[in-house]
């Protein structure tokens, strides 16, 4: 073979090598993406590969088995917070809010209702109200009272909470109260009749407490309980009683727990990967929790459709779901 032929052959081989390398780059990028996704959500490489292959993610989208959405941007309401807006509160306001968040049971309940106020779902989706309910402060306080009565070991010490409150960091209090908050959220998964029997027992114990502060709080919550349980009159003059559902309180605790444990709060917009709803959009309205860690599943209201329960890997979180971090809510005080 002549020299020129050898040179051409070498160039051909070199070009083929460069071409093969060029073709290999997307494969290596895919492998890196799979490894990163597997590490982020704690699954094997093969499971992560199947999830990413089925997702067909668009720019800015993620699978619901990773990431966090605390204040969904699509949730509408005049007094909705964002992460940065809470971070920009004046120091005295931060300490004042933290002190209230440290006061169990009623102070923390009121603090959470202010943090996650009533709102509406996205227009045109038939999602309905979110974080709603005039009874939310009372229900949350009663849940904490039940935990204090049944599982007192989960309640952080008052002195420790008071000391943390002076730092003005509500997230530190959230971490200290995470087991308490998770236990309160689990109560709302019980049957309603059983839950309200436990509430009645906890109220009885609080009212009998030798501690005058506890007894006074028990009497106050007893009054709330009696109002909730008072029979109502229907259009025919017949009395009926309805046990409080606690949907608003459930959504507040769901949103709260996404802070320390991850997940996507009620109001988050998603796209479904389930075969029966493939590609349909929906709104998260509830989270399913285990003993610890991020959510095990989500309740999703399909837009203009039904309610479905989906595993995190069956949902794509749409881009831009966390509230605009530059949004100014200083008018909220």
For residue 42, tell me if it sits in a domain.
Answer: no
Residue 319, phi then psi, degrees to nearest 5: -65, 150
Using a pLDDT cut of 70, give the percent of the chain over it.
Answer: 82
What secondary structure does DSSP assign to 81-137, as a single string?
Answer: --HHHHHTS-HHHHHHHHHHHTSTTHHHHHHHHHHS--EEPPTTTT--EES--TTHH
> How far apart are the C-alpha atoms of 184 and 190, rounded to whole Å?
11
Comparing 96 with 12, the larger pLDDT belongs to 96
pLDDT at site 331 = 36
Residue 315 in this model has a pLDDT that exceeds 50: yes
What is the per-residue pLDDT for 204? 97
> What is the distance between the alpha carbons of residues 38 and 175, in angstroms, rounded to a whole number?
26
Per-residue confidence band for 79, with pLDDT thresholds at 50, 70 and 90? confident
Q: How far apart are the first and last CA of the chain?
A: 85
Residue keyed to tokens 């309640």: 155
> Is the pLDDT confidence value at 265 over 50?
yes
pLDDT higher than 60, residue 305: yes
Indicate the range of 40-54, 92-106, 160-174 predicted with least confidence: 40-54
pLDDT surpassing 70 at residue 62: yes
How high is the pLDDT of residue 29? 63
Whole-angstrom Cα distance, residue 29 to residue 12? 26
Would 15 be classed as within a structural domain? no
Is 232 a domain residue? yes
Q: Do 120 and 129 meet the contact criterion of CB atoms below 8 Å apart?
A: yes
Give the model's pLDDT for residue 332.
37
Provide mean pLDDT across the span 269-294: 92
Does residue 310 lie within any of the structural domains? yes
Q: Which two tokens stand for residue 50?
A: 């199947």
Average pLDDT, the chain: 85
Contact 147, 155 (CB under 8 A): yes
Instruction: Kindly state the average pLDDT of the residues 52-70.
Output: 84
Range of the domain at 203: 63-332
Q: Structural domain tally of the chain?
A: 1
Domain contains 127: yes
Q: How far is CA 172 from CA 13, 154, 163, 186, 260, in A?
A: 61, 16, 11, 22, 10
pLDDT of 11 above 60? no
Per residue in 114-144, pLDDT (tens digit) is 999 999 888 888 898 999 988 999 999 999 9
- Contacts with 116 (C-beta within 8 Å, 6 or more apart), sequence order: 81, 131, 251, 252, 255, 256
Please check whether residue 48 lies inside any domain of the structure: no
Assess contact for 164 and 205: CB atoms under 8 A.
no
Tell me how far the alpha carbon of residue 274 is from its chain's centroid: 21
Query: How many other C-beta atoms lie within 10 A of the C-beta of residue 203?
Result: 22
Q: 67 near 261, Cβ under 8 Å?
A: no
Higher pLDDT among residues 203 and 4, named by residue = 203
| pLDDT for residue 252 | 97
Residue 289 reports pLDDT greater than 60: yes
Q: Is the pLDDT of residue 155 over 50?
A: yes
| pLDDT at 32 (0 to 100) | 73
Between 7 and 191, residue with greater pLDDT: 191
Rg, Å, the chain Cα set: 26
Comparing 247 with 80, the larger pLDDT belongs to 247
Q: What is the mean pLDDT of residues 317-330?
A: 68
CA 54/CA 40 separation, integer angstroms: 17
Residue 166 has pLDDT above 60, yes or no: yes
Q: Which residue has the tokens 């071409």?
A: 19
- Tell me what pLDDT residue 261 has: 87
* The pLDDT of residue 192: 87
Please report which confidence band the pLDDT of residue 41 belongs to, taking 50, 70 and 90 as the band edges. low
Q: Is residue 300 included in any domain, yes or no?
A: yes
Q: What is the pLDDT of residues 191-249, one digit of tens each?
A: 888 999 999 999 999 999 999 999 999 999 999 999 888 877 666 766 655 667 789 99
Backbone φ and ψ of 107, nearest 5° = -60, -45
Examine the pLDDT at 21 and tell me if it is beyond 50: no
How does residue 184 score in pLDDT terms, banded at 50, 70 and 90?
A: very high
Residue 190 has a pLDDT of 87
Residues 6+ apart with CB under 8 A from 142: 105, 199, 202, 203, 221, 224, 225
Question: Distance (Å, rounded) from C-alpha 128 to C-alpha 46?
Answer: 39
Query: Do 237 and 262 meet the contact criterion of CB atoms below 8 Å apart?
Result: no
Q: pLDDT value at position 6?
A: 52
Residue 138 lies in a domain: yes
Query: 50 vs 95, which has greater pLDDT?
Result: 95
């Amino acid at each position: 073979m002549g020299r020129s032929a050898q040179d051409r052959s070498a160039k051909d081989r070199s070009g083929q090598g460069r071409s093969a390398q060029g073709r290999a780059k997307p494969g290596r990028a895919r492998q890196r993406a799979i490894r990163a996704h597997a590490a982020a959500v704690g699954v094997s490489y093969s499971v992560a590969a199947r999830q990413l292959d089925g997702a067909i993610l668009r720019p800015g989208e993620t699978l619901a088995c990773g990431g966090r959405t605390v204040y969904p941007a699509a949730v509408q309401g005049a007094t909705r917070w964002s992460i940065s807006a809470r971070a920009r509160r004046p120091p005295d306001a931060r300490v004042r809010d933290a002190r209230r968040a440290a006061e169990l049971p009623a102070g923390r309940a009121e603090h959470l209702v202010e943090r996650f106020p009533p709102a509406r779902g996205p227009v045109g989706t038939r999602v309905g109200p979110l974080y709603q309910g005039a009874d939310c402060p009372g229900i949350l306080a009663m849940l904490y009272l039940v935990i204090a009565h049944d599982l007192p070991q989960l309640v952080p010490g008052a002195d420790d909470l008071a000391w943390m409150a002076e730092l003005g960091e509500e997230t530190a209090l959230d971490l200290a109260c995470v087991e308490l908050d998770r236990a309160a959220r689990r109560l709302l998964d019980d049957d309603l009749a059983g839950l309200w029997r436990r509430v009645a027992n906890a109220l009885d114990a609080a009212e009998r407490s030798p501690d005058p502060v506890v007894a006074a709080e028990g009497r106050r919550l007893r009054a709330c309980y009696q109002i909730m349980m008072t029979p109502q009159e229907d259009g025919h003059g017949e009395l009926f009683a309805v046990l409080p559902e606690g949907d608003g309180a459930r959504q507040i605790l769901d949103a709260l727990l996404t802070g320390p444990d991850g997940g996507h709060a009620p109001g988050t917009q998603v796209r479904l990967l389930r075969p029966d709803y493939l590609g349909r959009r929906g709104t998260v309205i509830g989270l399913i929790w285990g003993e610890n860690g991020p959510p095990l599943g989500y309740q999703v209201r399909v837009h203009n459709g039904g309610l479905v329960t989906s595993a995190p890997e069956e949902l794509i979180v749409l881009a831009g779901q966390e509230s605009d971090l530059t949004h100014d809510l200083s008018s909220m005080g």
